[in-house]
Structure 1
């Protein structure tokens, strides 16, 4: 049986570490250039084949509601960062594709952001980073 106090202490430590690190790396984003939400959309889209993703996959990777994602995607399309078109394989869905401008801006921000993350996480060894990744995946994959 899991020690209840230890579980609470571990959760609190994980939560505080996530909050503090998130606050530090959020400084990588300039709302006038590319917001963190826009970065997250482009992260999902640029990882897809032909830098394209289904809108439902973008929504699944975001920590905001579906209507909020739809509004964000529409604003990004208006800014020329992405295009949005009907999904030919799903009449109710949409495909989102990074424009060359959106992909270039994403790469520019991702370079700085990735460096900041690596620097912050450098207090852990590669083995510890792998263990952290595996442990947090295990927590996310658990569905009671």
Structure 2
């Protein structure tokens, strides 16, 4: 049986670390063409084959509700960052694709954002980073 007090302390530490890191990297999106949420959508979409993802997959990677993701995607379509069409394999679903404009903007911001994350995470060595990745995957039930 695990130590309940230690479990709560570890959880609080993880939560506070995530919050502080998130606050640090929030500045990466100041004065850019994308909000952090738009960046997250494009991250999922551009990592998918042909820069196309199911809307439900985008939603599952976001920390906001499905209706909020749908509205965000619609705004991104209006801005020319994404296209959206019916999913031919699932009549109830939609596919979203990064436009060339969306992909170019994403790559430019991703370079800066990646450097910022790397600088922040440099407090850990490669073994610790691998361990952190494994531990967080385990917490998420994906080990």
Shift of 1:33: 1.3
Structure 2 equivalent of residue 91 of structure 1: 91
Aligned length: 142
Q: CA-to-partner distance for each residue in 1:91-125, whole Å, 9 max, x for gaps?
A: 01100000000000000010000100000000101
CA distance in 2, matches of 1:63, 1:70: 13
CA distance in 1, matches of 2:31, 2:89: 34
3-state SS in 2 of match to 1:85: strand
Structure 2 equivalent of residue 51 of structure 1: 51
Structure 1 equivalent of residue 133 of structure 2: 133
Computed over aligned residues only, the root mean square deviation of the Cα atoms, in angstroms, reads 1.1
What's the TM-score once normalised by structure 2's chain length? 0.96
In structure 2, stretches of 5+ residues that fail to align are none
CA distance in 2, matches of 1:88, 1:103: 23
What's the TM-score once normalised by structure 1's chain length? 0.96
Ranges of 4+ aligned residues in structure 1 off by more than 6 Å: none
CA distance in 1, matches of 2:100, 2:30: 20
Shift of 1:43: 0.3
In structure 1, stretches of 5+ residues that fail to align are none
